[in-house]
């Protein structure tokens, strides 16, 4: 039964806040890694496990969150996840070594995996069926804005305080969310307490998904299959996925209910959620590196550039929900969203080394509008046919696919950046020879400039070549990031036909959980 009045809104704010905490923590640490590395005396490769451990734990729990919510009761599981997440945040801030921080981040990631899917299921249960589009839109605020504003918050805290505060800020918010959850969220029945627990399913899920996520997080930095443990993890992931699917289809009490894949809307929705994650996390990954490595922006300045786009997303969300409630086909809105995302990447692919902060406003505003038009319709289409306990399972799997899509996107873009930078550099170096008049003119001009500032001929020549080398490096990086933008946009554009494989309904009103 849906809630009304004040209780409906306080539950809505509570679950959105809790899911926002988890989603912000996915990216808030990234800009602080160099500072943490220096404080804890770790290498860059080792400190990367702070984000890898969180992501691996998070993606393992997501598909299990529906079963866990049913087993312990959705309210109990959600409340426990908030409390554990908050305590883990405190422990992360107090960590005195890298190993401690990684362990506490893994615990935080496990608790966070229970927040996002369970909060979405609670929200769908809280709002009446005819307003479920609005409920999905409100949830989308956290899902889309969280990863976008994470670097902004992380950059600000790192610049104005110390890195432990990126974890401490979770504590008061988590405490309030726990209190309101305990006070206002309705209890749900505990399912399956008298049934055997699928321990084999849990183990195989952890092995398969954990191996896959680790490969995606560490593959590029470890030179992929040139590293033995990446090869072993790849074989483990493939075998683990096959065994896990076989186990879940053959047991009477699966940890993940694959029978919901019989719904065409959900099966195809898994792919579209994967594409959404690719675009959402891939663009958030490329843009900050581009701004900081090439244009010289600080972490805080880069975050400030992303913030207005988040405001456009927030402003659009209520209208998206209303349009869905009025029966405007979700496929139409998602098509516009994917096209706008392509426009955003097309505009950024024309960036130059002279691009200023003002040049990013409209591309990022278009991205913000496009993401609003994507998240809500795609999520609504995916869960449209799910009922009862299927909603908890479906939201978990759907969110897992979005996270995996983001991991695949980042891994693919990182590899492409590495490969294309070498190609562009080689192409540019063809022009660096004594038979090229343009090169000779630039070289002589640089030598004369340095000599005019008091350098000897030898020093001026060495500095001139170093200057040209720097220009080649920056130009090759610029061309590479332009390629990355193009790839991300084309993935979105060519995914539009997938939308029309889902059942076409004018009045899309997915059922809320019957509990």
Predicted confidence (pLDDT) per residue in 341-354, tens digit: 999 998 988 888 78
Angle at which helix 5-27 crosses helix 98-126, to 10 degrees, equals 150
pLDDT tens, position by position, 173-228:
889 989 988 888 877 766 656 677 778 888 888 888 888 878 877 777 677 777 88
- pLDDT at residue 434 greater than cutoff 80: no
Cα distances from 162 to residues 35, 52, 93, 169, 292, in angstroms, run: 9, 22, 10, 12, 20
pLDDT at position 84 is 94
Residue 147: predicted pLDDT: 67
For 109-137, the pLDDT digits (tens) are 889 888 877 887 787 778 776 666 667 66
pLDDT of residue 319: 82
Please check the confidence at residue 415 and state whether its pLDDT lies above 50.
yes
Three-class DSSP labels, 450-491: HHHCCCCHHHHHHHHHHHHHHHHHHHHHHHHHHHHHHHHHHH
Task: Decide if pLDDT at 513 tops 50.
Answer: no
Angstrom distance (rounded) from CA 373 to CA 18: 23
Burial class (CB in 10 A: 0-12, 13-18, 19+), 221: middle
What pLDDT band is residue 299 in, cutting at 50, 70 and 90?
Answer: low
Structural domains for the chain: 5-189+257-421+478-499 (1.20.1250.20), 199-256 (no CATH)
Q: Are 151 and 306 in contact (CB under 8 A)?
A: yes
Q: Computed from CA positions of residues 128, 130, 132, 135, in that sequence, does the dihedral angle turn out positive or negative?
A: negative
Check residue 509 and report its DSSP letter. -
Q: Is pLDDT at 377 greater than 80 in this prediction? A: yes
- Decide if pLDDT at 482 tops 50: yes
φ and ψ of 404, to 5 deg:
-65, -40
Span of 234-243, 462-471, 506-515 with lowest mean pLDDT: 506-515
pLDDT at position 511 over 50:
no
Distance of alpha carbon 298 from alpha carbon 33, whole angstroms: 14
**pLDDT (average), residues 63-89:** 86
| Mean pLDDT of the region 377-404 | 78
pLDDT tens, residue by residue, 314-343: 788 778 877 877 778 888 889 999 999 999
Residues listed for the chain: 515
Mean pLDDT along residues 262-278: 85
Task: Please choose, from the candidates 144, 148, 145, 168, the residue with its C-alpha nearest in 3D space to the C-alpha of residue 158.
Answer: 168
Q: Which residues does 147 contact at the CB level (< 8 Å), separation at least 6? A: 23, 24, 26, 27, 280, 281, 284, 406
pLDDT, tens digit, 9 for 90 and up, residues 226-246: 788 888 989 998 998 899 888
Nearest to 392, CA basis, from 190, 210, 153, 251: 190
Which of the four pLDDT bands, split at 50, 70 and 90, describes residue 107?
very high
C-beta separation of 464 from 446 below 8 A: yes
- Per-residue pLDDT averaged across 488-495, rounded? 88
Distance, in Å, from the CA atom of 116 to the CA atom of 396, rounded to the nearest integer, reads: 8
What is the pLDDT, as a whole number, of residue 508? 53
pLDDT beyond 70 at 369: yes
Q: What are residue 189's phi and psi, to 5 degrees?
A: -60, 150
pTM over 0.75: yes
Q: Are 62 and 403 in contact (CB under 8 A)?
A: yes
Query: Is the pLDDT score of 515 beyond 60?
Result: no
> Given this model, what pLDDT does residue 457 score?
82
Q: Is 430 helix (H, G, I), strand (E, B) or coil?
A: coil
Taking the C-alpha atoms of residue 165 and residue 487, their distance in angstroms, rounded to an integer, is: 36
Query: Does the pLDDT of residue 486 top 80, yes or no?
Result: yes
Average pLDDT in the chain? 80
pLDDT at 507 exceeding the cut of 80: no
- pLDDT tens profile 15-56: 888 887 877 777 777 667 767 777 777 765 677 778 778 877
Could you tell me the two tokens for 23? 């989603």
Question: Which whole-number Å values give the CA distances from 193 to 73, 80, 224, 479, in the listed order?
Answer: 10, 18, 43, 57
3-state helix, strand, coil in the chain (%, to 5): 80, 0, 20
82/387: higher pLDDT: 82
């Amino acid at each position: 039964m849906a809630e009304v009045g004040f209780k409906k809104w306080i539950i809505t704010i509570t679950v959105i806040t809790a899911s926002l905490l988890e989603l912000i923590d996915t990216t808030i640490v990234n800009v602080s890694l160099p500072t943490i590395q220096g404080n804890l005396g770790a290498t860059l490769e080792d400190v990367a496990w702070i984000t890898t451990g969180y992501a691996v734990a998070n993606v393992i729990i997501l598909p299990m969150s529906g079963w866990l919510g049913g087993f312990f009761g959705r309210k109990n599981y959600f409340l426990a996840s908030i409390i554990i997440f908050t305590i883990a945040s405190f422990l992360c801030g107090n960590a005195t070594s890298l190993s401690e921080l990684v362990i506490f981040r893994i615990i935080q990631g496990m608790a966070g995996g229970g927040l996002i899917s369970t909060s979405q299921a609670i929200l769908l249960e809280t709002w009446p069926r005819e307003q479920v589009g609005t409920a999905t839109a409100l949830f989308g605020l956290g899902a889309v804005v969280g990863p976008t504003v994470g670097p902004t918050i992380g950059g600000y805290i790192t610049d104005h305080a110390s890195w432990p505060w990126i974890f401490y800020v979770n504590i008061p918010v988590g405490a309030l969310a726990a209190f309101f959850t305990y006070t206002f969220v309705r209890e749900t029945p505990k399912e399956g307490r008298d049934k055997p627990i699928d321990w084999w399913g849990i183990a195989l899920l952890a092995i398969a998904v954990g191996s896959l996520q680790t490969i995606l997080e560490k593959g590029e930095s470890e030179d992929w299959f040139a590293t033995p443990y990446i090869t072993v993890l790849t074989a483990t992931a493939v075998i683990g996925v096959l065994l896990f699917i076989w186990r879940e289809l053959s047991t009477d009490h699966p940890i993940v209910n694959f029978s919901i894949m019989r719904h065409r809307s959900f099966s195809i929705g898994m792919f579209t959620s994967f594409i959404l994650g690719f675009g959402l996390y891939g663009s958030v990954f490329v843009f900050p590196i581009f701004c900081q490595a090439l244009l010289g922006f600080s972490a805080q300045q880069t975050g400030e550039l992303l913030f207005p786009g988040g405001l456009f997303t927030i402003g659009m969300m209520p209208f998206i929900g209303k349009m869905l409630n009025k029966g405007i086909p979700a496929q139409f809105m998602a098509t516009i969203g994917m096209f706008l995302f392509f426009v955003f990447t097309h505009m950024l692919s024309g960036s130059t080394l002279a691009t200023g902060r003002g040049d990013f406003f409209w591309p990022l505003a278009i991205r913000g509008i496009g993401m609003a038009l994507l998240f809500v319709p795609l999520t609504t289409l995916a869960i449209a046919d799910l009922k009862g306990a299927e909603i908890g399972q479906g939201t978990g799997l759907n969110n897992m696919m979005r996270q995996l899509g983001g991991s695949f996107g980042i891994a693919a873009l990182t590899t492409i950046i590495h490969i294309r930078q070498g190609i562009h550099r080689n192409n540019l170096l063809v022009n660096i020879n004594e038979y090229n008049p343009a090169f000779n003119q630039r070289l002589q001009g640089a030598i004369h400039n340095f000599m005019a500032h008091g350098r000897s001929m030898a020093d001026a020549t060495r500095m001139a070549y170093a200057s040209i080398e720097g220009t080649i490096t920056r130009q090759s990086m610029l061309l590479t990031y332009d390629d990355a933008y193009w790839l991300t946009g084309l993935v979105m554009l060519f995914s539009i036909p997938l939308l029309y494989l889902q059942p076409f309904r004018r009045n899309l009103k997915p059922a809320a959980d019957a509990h």
